Amino acid sequence: MDAAYTTKELLSVLCSKDKKESYGALDELEATAECSEQLCKKHFETVVRLLQNENSFVRNRAARLVSIMSKRIDADKMASAMPAYLHLLHDEKPITVRMCLQNLPVIIKAHPELCRVKSKVVSEADFSKHKDSMSPLLIKDAKAVMEFIDSNNT
**pTM over cut 0.85:** yes
pLDDT of 117 higher than 90:
no
Specify if 39 maps to a domain.
yes
Specify if 1 maps to a domain.
no
H-helix segments, the chain: 7-13, 19-35, 37-50, 56-69, 75-86, 94-110, 115-124, 135-151
Mean pLDDT of the chain: 91
Specify if 77 maps to a domain.
yes
Structure-model confidence comparison of residues 104 and 119, the more confident one: 104
Domain CATH code at residue 62 = 1.25.10.10
Specify if 75 maps to a domain.
yes
If one counts the domains in the chain, the total is 1
Specify if 92 maps to a domain.
yes
Q: Nearest CA to 84 among 95, 9, 74, 65?
A: 65
Give the pLDDT band of residue 86 (cuts 50, 70, 90): very high
Domain that holds residue 142: 7-151
Specify if 140 maps to a domain.
yes
Specify if 2 maps to a domain.
no
76 in Cβ contact with 116 (< 8 Å): no
Residue 98: the pLDDT is 96
* 1-60 residue pLDDT tens: 555 678 999 999 999 999 999 999 999 999 999 989 999 999 999 999 999 999 999 999
76 in Cβ contact with 119 (< 8 Å): no
Per the document, the length of the chain is 154
Specify if 108 maps to a domain.
yes
